């Protein structure tokens, strides 16, 4: 597909790198809370140019009927991209073995089984949980992350069109690291929402237009910053989970022409499979608004229920897409890739016509691989017993609250 976005020109899906196998696992580290502190102010604005224009929707072809043509948009979204040291070290080992990759990092073999799902979507949205380091590092692990910036280029090559990045780790490297992260994503042609480089950028809705002309607005917010405090004059840098503000962002996206508005919520108690009272209250408030069509959740590192609230689909928590947390917490090695197909007409409202979840499991170490659970079992690929366990556990978490008739396990 091709998309237009307000942030930068889209890198075509045809740009692909063929990469091969590899290895490695080092010491596992937990993702938790960072040390507290007041962040230094950053006075310089980003140097990369941005565009505020979105392309107009294609003109419908002539038809004998006066009714507006029906259009669809398939949205795919995933759990946390949480870059522990063992993950980027595995990608470095892959690149050394094959001589391929992006500046010494080869993530493609790790995610090869998932790539067709990502690249096949009309709009694919990732959750980039941690900031990027400068080129060449230093890279940092838990508790204050700084991941290789080559990941931004790889995200685009996988087929992700946008990333939400409001998280408790958004300012692990200060506001300067936040600006650097958004700039690397921008340069790769990946839209981003939840953190902002300027007050002016914060004020403009993030809307992505699919190749069929469906406009999708994205909003993202986090519960906090692990105790860090934004400088007084840079409060605009991160979107927080203040309901009035999140709803105002959703309304602004709708008024700017969004046919569909997706809200990404970074909240909850880590490793808890049931949503908290706060999560439930936030979801009820968001789904009660006509400006919100879908709510998705991140942060807790385990899968939480998929259900409907106020008649709208809600994913309380998608778990991890990638991480390397202690093997004593096996649920952290499982995640959800959600696929929602929206159907509607130009100028009308869009509703979900098909809802699917794709359970995933990633291996520990030597080498790391991400497995779509159902299709991997059907093809006889991956660790069969562990995938069977994951399938049962994922289904139990997804269906824990019920009220999700029509949801398909793919």
* DSSP 8-state class, residue 7: S
Residues 398, 303 contacting (CB under 8 angstroms): yes
* Domain coordinates in residue numbering, the chain: 71-409
Which residues neighbour 369 within 8 Å (Cβ) at sequence distance 6 or greater?
Answer: 109, 110, 113, 362, 363, 382
Which tokens in the block code for residue 2? Answer: 């091709």
Cβ atoms of 291 and 207 closer than 8 Å: no
- Dump pLDDT digits (tens) for 247-282: 999 999 999 999 999 999 999 999 999 999 999 999
Tell me the C-alpha distance between 276 and 260, whole Å.
26
Q: Distance between CA 158 and CA 372 in Å, rounded?
A: 15
* DSSP bridge pairs for 5: 208
CA-angle at 220, arms to 215 and 226, nearest 5°: 165
Average confidence (pLDDT) over 21-46: 39
What number of CA atoms fall less than 13 Å from residue 1's CA on the CB side? 27
Fold of domain 71-409: Purple Acid Phosphatase; chain A, domain 2 (3.60.21)
Q: pLDDT tens, 168-223?
A: 999 999 999 999 999 999 999 999 999 999 999 999 999 999 999 999 999 999 99
Between strands 228-229 and 70-81, the pairing is unpaired
Other Cβ atoms closer than 10 A to 138: 7
pTM: 0.86
Residue 195 DSSP symbol? B
Give per-residue pLDDT as tens, 220-255: 999 999 999 999 999 999 999 999 999 999 999 999
Calculated CA dihedral for residues 329, 280, 338, 300, nearest 10 degrees: -20
pLDDT surpassing 80 at residue 83:
yes
Q: What average pLDDT does the structure give for the chain?
A: 88
- Does residue 186 sit in helix, strand or coil? helix
What does residue 188 show for φ and ψ, rounded to 5 degrees?
-80, -10
Average pLDDT of 120-148? 98
CB neighbours of 273 closer than 8 A, spacing ≥ 6? 302, 303, 304, 331, 397, 400
Output the 3-class SS for 229-243: ECCHHHHHHECECCH
Q: Are strands 37-38 and 228-229 parallel, antiparallel or unpaired?
A: parallel
Q: If 0-12 CB within 10 Å is exposed, 13-18 middle and 19+ buried, where does residue 172 land?
A: buried
pLDDT of 91 > 60? The answer is yes
Contact 344, 259 (CB under 8 A): yes
């Amino acid at each position: 597909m091709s998309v237009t976005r307000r942030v930068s020109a889209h890198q075509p899906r045809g740009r692909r790198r063929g990469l091969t196998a590899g290895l490695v696992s080092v010491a596992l580290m937990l993702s938790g809370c960072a040390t507290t502190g007041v962040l230094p102010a950053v006075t310089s604005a980003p140097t990369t140019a941005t565009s505020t224009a979105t392309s107009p929707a294609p003109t419908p072809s002539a038809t004998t009927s006066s009714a507006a043509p029906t259009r669809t948009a398939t949205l795919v979204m995933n759990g946390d991209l949480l870059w522990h040291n063992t993950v980027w070290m595995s990608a470095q080992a892959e690149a050394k073995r094959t001589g391929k990759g992006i500046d010494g990092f080869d993530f493609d073999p790790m995610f090869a089984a998932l790539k067709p799902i990502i690249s096949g979507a009309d709009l694919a949205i990732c959750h980039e949980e941690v900031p990027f380091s400068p080129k060449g590092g230093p890279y940092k692990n838990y508790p204050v992350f700084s991941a290789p910036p080559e990941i931004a280029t790889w995200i685009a090559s996988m087929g992700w069109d946008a990333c939400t990045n409001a998280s408790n780790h958004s300012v692990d490297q200060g506001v300067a690291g936040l600006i650097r992260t958004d700039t690397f994503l921008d340069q790769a042609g990946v839209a981003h929402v939840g953190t902002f480089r300027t007050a002016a950028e914060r004020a403009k809705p993030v809307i992505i237009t699919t190749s069929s002309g469906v406009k999708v607005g994205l909003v993202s917010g986090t519960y906090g910053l692990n105790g860090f405090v934004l400088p007084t004059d840079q409060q605009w840098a991160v979107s927080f989970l203040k309901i009035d503000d999140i709803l105002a962002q959703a309304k602004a996206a709708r008024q700017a022409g969004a046919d569909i508005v997706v809200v990404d919520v970074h909240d909850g108690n880590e490793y808890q499979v049931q949503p908290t009272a706060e999560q439930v209250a936030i979801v009820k408030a968001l789904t009660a608004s006509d400006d919100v069509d879908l709510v998705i959740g991140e942060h807790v590192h385990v899968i939480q229920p998929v259900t409907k609230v106020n008649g709208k689909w809600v994913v309380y928590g998608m778990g991890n897409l990638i991480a390397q947390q202690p093997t004593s917490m096996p649920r952290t090695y499982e995640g959800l890739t959600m696929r929602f197909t929206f159907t509607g007409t130009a100028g009308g409202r869009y509703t979900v016509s098909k809802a699917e979840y794709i359970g995933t499991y990633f291996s520990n170490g030597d080498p790391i691989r991400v497995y779509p659970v159902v299709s991997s079992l059907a093809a006889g690929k991956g660790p069969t017993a562990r995938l069977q366990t994951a399938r049962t556990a994922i289904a139990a978490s997804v269906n824990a609250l019920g009220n999700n008739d029509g949801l398909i396990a793919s």
